[in-house]
Structure 1
Amino acid sequence: MISVLAARVQGAAATAPHGGGQADVLDVLLWVALPYVAIAVFVIGHYWRYRYDKFGWTTRSSQLYEKRLLRIGSPLFHFGILIVLLGHVGGLVIPDTWTEAAGISEHAYHVAAVTLGTAAGFCTLTGLAILIYRRRTVGPVFSATTRNDKLMYAVLTLVIVLGLAATVAANLAGGGYDYRETVSPWFRSVFMLRPDPDLMADVPILFQLHALSAMLLFCIWPFTRLVHMLTAPVGYLTRPYIVYHSRDERLGARAPRRGWERLP
Structure 2
Amino acid sequence: MAVQRYRDGGGARAVRALAVTGVIAVTAGCFGGDGASGAGDGSGQRSVAAGRPLDLLDRAAGVLVAEGGAETRTSMETAAGGTRVTIRGQGVYDFRAQVGRIKVALPEGAGGVDGHRPITELLTPGALYMKNRGAGVPDGKWVRIDTTALKDGNLVTGGVTDPMAAAELLRGASDVTYAGTTELAGVTVHHYRGVADLGRAARAASPRSRGALGAAAKGFSKDAVPFDAYLDEDGRLRKVRHRFTFSSEGPEVSVVSTLLLYGFGVPVRVELPDEDAIYTGRIRQG
TM-score bracket for the superposition, by shorter chain length: under 0.3
Instruction: Give the strand-richer structure, 1 or 2.
Output: 2
The TM-score normalised by the length of structure 1 is: 0.24
Instruction: Give the helix-richer structure, 1 or 2.
Output: 1
Higher relative CO (CA 8 A, sep ≥ 6), structure 1 or 2? 1
The TM-score normalised by the length of structure 2 is: 0.22
